[in-house]
Amino acid sequence: MKLEHLKSLKKSELHAHLNGSISPKLLYELALSTQTLNAKELGLIQAPPSDWDSCFALFGLVYKVVRGPQILYRCTQAVIEKFLDDGVSHLELRTTLKEDLEHGISWDSYLDTILQATDDFLNSPQNGGQITVKWIISLDRSKGLAYVEKSMATILRHHKKSPYIVGTDFCGDPYIGHFKNFERTFQHARQEGLKTTVHFAEVPRFEDLWEILDFSPDRLGHACCLNKGLFEKILEKQIPVEICFTSNLLTGVVCAPEVHVVKAFYKARHPFVICTDDFGIFHSTINDEYRKVAAILNLQVAEVEDLAARSLAHTF
């Protein structure tokens, strides 16, 4: 399927981390201008990771570069522009709250900056109504309940004054903590009108996955390390899945394209959306992801068009 035809398809991107979606070219330019990375690190940000650990090492380098409101604003707009160029008509970006007081960033000013950058881009002639952008704010389970509750209070305060914040994401090290410890906080967010997505079964750790399914999130991210019972429960509850094909392969949680769970979901006619996860980290655009998934599923052009169109049914 030709790239230009893929770009022309209206589609949604529903699992894209802000800091992971900064293009390697822009990140390299910023690193040079700010002199925040050494020569070895500059080389590392130009290549995709080879496993789980190298992936998160790359995120550490990104955080060293994206410092201060001006760079954050520029990166936010650049990420939106990239997805617009790739034909995305509805974009849901996600990020955890960041604090960098040395460079003038608090949780509140962080949200103010990305929301202002979003509003300015959407109202610019460059956009012309071609793309809508919403935000999902991620909550890191590994940082404990007090952190999650404080984060949620900040999120809800901004949600009340901004139309762009539409959901929350339960994320972080899946080997730390249990969802039941945070469930009341997410129930409160639901009552306040926020949707919920969850980083789910990205690794083969099953302890709290049933608890998460009992909560019935609005979407599941990854869901690539499932046993039969969990797979069947997802089908029963009809929870849409955010498929991050290249991410799962490069981090090593899926050993080969042929065994990726997207094949089983497609065969079962279960709703899923093709996503990038971290374009800037994995060097794979949304159109690259469509091509790869289409190849592994042996899809015809009309079926790819249908997949793109149905992605718009699962937005927040």
Parse the chain into domains and list their residue ranges: 3-95+102-314
- Phi and psi based region of residue 35 (left: phi greater than 0; alpha: psi -120 to 50; beta: remaining): left
Beta bridge mates, 147? none
Locate the DSSP E strands across 172-309. 195-200, 219-222, 241-243, 272-274
Q: What is the pLDDT of residues 153-202, one digit of tens each?
A: 999 999 999 999 999 999 999 999 999 999 999 999 999 999 999 999 99
Residue 79 has pLDDT above 90, yes or no: yes
How high is the pLDDT of residue 1?
A: 81
Residue 307 CB contacts under 8 Å (≥ 6 apart), including other chains? 274, 290, 293, 294, 299
Residue ranges with strand state E in the chain: 11-17, 88-96, 132-140, 165-171, 195-200, 219-222, 241-243, 272-274
* DSSP state letter for 37: S
283 and 82 in contact (C-beta within 8 Å)?
A: no
pLDDT attached to residue 50: 87
pTM above 0.85, yes or no: yes
Evaluate whether the domain defined by 3-95+102-314 bears CATH number 3.20.20.140.
Answer: yes
User: What pLDDT, in 10s, does the model give residues 91-100?
Assistant: 999 999 999 9
The string of pLDDT tens digits covering residues 290-309 is: 999 999 999 999 999 999 99
Pairing of strands 272-274, 219-222: unpaired
Share of the chain above pLDDT 90, in %: 95
pLDDT higher than threshold 90 for residue 207 = no
128 has pLDDT over 90: no
Give the separation between CA 61 and CA 50, rounded to whole angstroms.
Answer: 16
Closest CA to 18 of 104, 123, 133: 133
Q: What 3-state class would DSSP assign to 215?
A: helix
**Residue 106 above 90 pLDDT?**
yes
